[in-house]
């Protein structure tokens, strides 16, 4: 669905209640990574990987079990999904070696095709999003979402998205709404969209297809210094709905395309309402403002939104201000260690960060390698219950 001008104007009118353009112009926020000094609490290494495991996604349970993924979109790694022993660094294919032995002749139900993202819900169940691959027969090997009970390491239920998304789509990240029994996913491919999955019935549908909030602004780009990021074929990188975060009370879903600077949110009640038309749902989306270009997002229990500032190699904490703007403060910066803060998880008072080094391995104009694929963790501060997104959740 392409958004119409009148509706777009109405959305921007929502700035008075939903947040405005960042107080500091985005262009002014771009600084050379070499000029960034170490900021914030120290990055602690949980696990560094060799090139045979190209880290992207992470999940951490309430008890501190650490899981990681290596999608096969560019290169197939030794394993697609592993559990990491945080004490020894040892890795074990998860849930077992057989799942990590992909064959195009298989049925795709008990094997990983291309595991993109992980999430551990409030019931401490692990969810793995297998995005499949555009080059395989997705009628037979469709994208799937798999729920594991971590007390047994057994599959609880598996959902597939056959007929919901096409090979041109690419499911990227997810959040599980235990309170309402739904999953919400982002789609970076095709025209961009969100996917809403009813966990009870298994019914799924795409929403906000090609809308202003899910389709990356073509006038903005991911920049490597003064260069626009290019795909291996030389085309300009355009990555649509990517980062996603769920508010602590599960009433709001926050999301954004990767290759622009815009931030959005929508009531989860609207996403679950199958009676809303495309236009009615789009009218409920709120524009939060323009800020750093981030990929993965996560919101802590106190309502602070965290994301990676990809162009400056930092992690930022995003908060709303009394004047309804987005305020991005550098939470962690360490140019000697951190490259591309991609996936996030929170457990035990720590923010876990998957550094995927994507801008060094995924583009035509790759930068020189600066270090190994690494899972870091950093201590989160105790935050007062004021001055951030939480005040607007109700």
Tell me the three-class secondary structure of 172-199, residue by residue. Answer: EEEEEECCCCEEEEEECCCCCEEEEEEC
Ranges 31-35, 40-44, 215-219, 342-346: which has the least confidence: 31-35
pLDDT at residue 25 in the model: 31
Residue range 30-54: mean pLDDT, rounded: 82
pLDDT at position 322: 74
Q: What is the mean pLDDT of residues 114-122?
A: 97
pLDDT at 18: 30
Q: Give pLDDT, residue 32.
A: 44
| Residue at 230 is within a domain | yes
Average pLDDT taken over every residue of the chain: 88
d(C-alpha 242, C-alpha 221), whole Å = 14
Question: Residue 79 pLDDT > 80, yes or no?
Answer: yes
Confidence of residue 221 (pLDDT cuts 50, 70, 90): very high
Whether 391 maps to a domain, the answer reads no
Residue percentage of the chain with pLDDT more than 90 = 81
Residue 80 has pLDDT above 80, yes or no: yes
Contact 254, 245 (CB under 8 A): yes
Establish if 50 belongs to a structural domain.
yes
Mean pLDDT of 169-198: 98
48: Cα separation from own chain's centroid: 21
Residue 29 DSSP symbol: H
C-alpha dist (Å) from residue 278 to 4, 186, 201, 208, 275 = 12, 17, 22, 7, 10
**DSSP structural state of residue 360:** G
5-19, 315-329, 377-391: least confidently modelled range: 5-19
- Residue 259 pLDDT: 97
Structure tokens at 22: 């960042």
The label of the residue with tokens 């047994």 reads 152
User: Can you give the pLDDT at residue 386?
Assistant: 43
- Could you tell me the pLDDT band of residue 4, with boundaries at 50, 70 and 90? very low
Q: What pLDDT shows up at residue 324? A: 67
Task: Answer yes or no: is pLDDT of 152 > 80.
Answer: yes
In a domain, 270, yes or no: yes
Q: Please give the average per-residue pLDDT across 268-283, as a whole number.
A: 97
Which of 385 and 93 is assigned the larger pLDDT?
93
Q: Report yes or no on 392 lying in a domain.
A: no
Sign of the alpha-carbon torsion through 308, 313, 314, 319: negative
Query: How much is the pTM?
Result: 0.89
What is the model's pLDDT at position 383? Answer: 53
Instruction: Kindly provide the residue ranges of all beta strands, DSSP E only, lying in 110-220, ordered along the sequence.
Output: 115-120, 125-130, 144-149, 154-160, 171-177, 182-187, 193-198, 204-207
How far is it, in rounded angstroms, from Cα 139 to Cα 137?
A: 5
- In a domain, residue 394? The reply is no
State the pLDDT confidence band at 391, using cuts at 50, 70 and 90.
very low
Q: Residues 139-143: what's their mean pLDDT? A: 95
pLDDT of residue 320: 79
Range of the domain at 297: 5-385
More confident residue, 246 or 22: 246
Query: What does the alpha-carbon distance between residue 288 and residue 125 come to, in Å, rounded to a whole number?
Result: 31
**β-pair type (144-149, 326-333):** unpaired
Render pLDDT for 312-326 as a digit per residue (tens, 0 to 9).
Answer: 999 999 987 777 678
Separation between Cα atoms, residue 90 and residue 173, nearest integer Å: 26
Map tokens 């009970």 to a residue.
Answer: 149
CATH number of the CATH domain containing 223: 2.120.10.30
The total number of structural domains in the chain stands at: 1
- Asked if the structure places residue 390 within a domain, the reply is no
Q: Residue range 103-128: average pLDDT? A: 95
- The whole-number pLDDT of residue 303 equals 92
20: which DSSP letter?
B
341 belongs to a structural domain: yes
The average pLDDT across 209-238 equals 96
Beta-sheet strand order (sheet of 81-84): 58-60, 66-69, 81-84, 91-93
Is the pLDDT at 28 greater than 90? The verdict is no
What average pLDDT does the segment 178-187 reach? 98
Pick from 136-140, 180-184, 385-389: least confident: 385-389
Using 50, 70 and 90 to split pLDDT, how confident is the model at 366? confident
């Amino acid at each position: 669905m392409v958004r119409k001008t009148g509706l777009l104007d109405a959305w921007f009118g929502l700035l008075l209640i939903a947040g405005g353009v960042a107080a500091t112009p985005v262009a002014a926020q771009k600084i050379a990574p070499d000029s960034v000094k170490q900021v914030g609490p120290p990055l602690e290494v949980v696990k560094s990987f060799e090139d045979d495991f190209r880290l992207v996604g992470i999940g951490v349970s309430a008890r501190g079990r650490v899981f990681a993924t290596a999608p096969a979109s560019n290169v197939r790694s030794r394993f697609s999904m592993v559990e990491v022993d945080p004490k020894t660094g040892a890795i074990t294919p998860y849930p077992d070696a057989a799942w990590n032995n992909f064959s195009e002749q298989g049925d795709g139900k008990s094997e990983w095709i291309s595991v993109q993202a992980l999430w551990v819900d409030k019931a401490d169940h692990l969810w793995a999003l297998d995005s499949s691959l555009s080059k395989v027969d997705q009628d037979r090997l469709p994208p799937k979402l798999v729920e594991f009970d971590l007390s047994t390491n057994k599959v609880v239920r598996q959902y597939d998205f056959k007929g919901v998304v096409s090979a041109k789509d690419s499911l990227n990240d997810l959040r599980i709404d235990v309170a309402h029994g739904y999953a919400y996913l982002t789609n970076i491919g095709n025209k961009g969209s969100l996917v809403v999955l009813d966990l009870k019935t298994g019914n799924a549908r795409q929403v906000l297809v090609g809308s202003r909030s899910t389709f990356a602004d073509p006038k903005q780009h991911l920049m490597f210094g003064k260069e626009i990021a290019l795909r291996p074929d030389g085309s300009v990188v355009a990555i649509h709905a990517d980062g996603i975060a769920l508010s602590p009370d599960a009433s709001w879903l926050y999301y954004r395309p990767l290759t622009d600077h815009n931030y959005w949110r929508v009531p989860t009640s609207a996403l679950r309402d199958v009676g809303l038309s495309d236009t009615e749902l789009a009218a409920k989306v709120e524009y939060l403002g323009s800020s750093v270009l981030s990929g993965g997002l996560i919101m802590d229990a106190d309502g602070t939104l965290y994301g990676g500032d990809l162009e400056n190699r930092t992690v930022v904490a995003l908060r709303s201000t009394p004047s309804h703007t987005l305020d991005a403060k550098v939470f962690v910066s360490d140019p000697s260690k951190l490259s591309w803060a991609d996936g996030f998880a929170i457990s035990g008072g720590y923010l876990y960060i998957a550094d995927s080094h994507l801008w060094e391995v995924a583009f035509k104009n790759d930068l020189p390698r600066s270090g190994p694929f690494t899972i870091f963790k950093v201590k989160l501060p105790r935050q007062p219950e004021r001055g951030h997104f939480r005040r607007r959740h109700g």
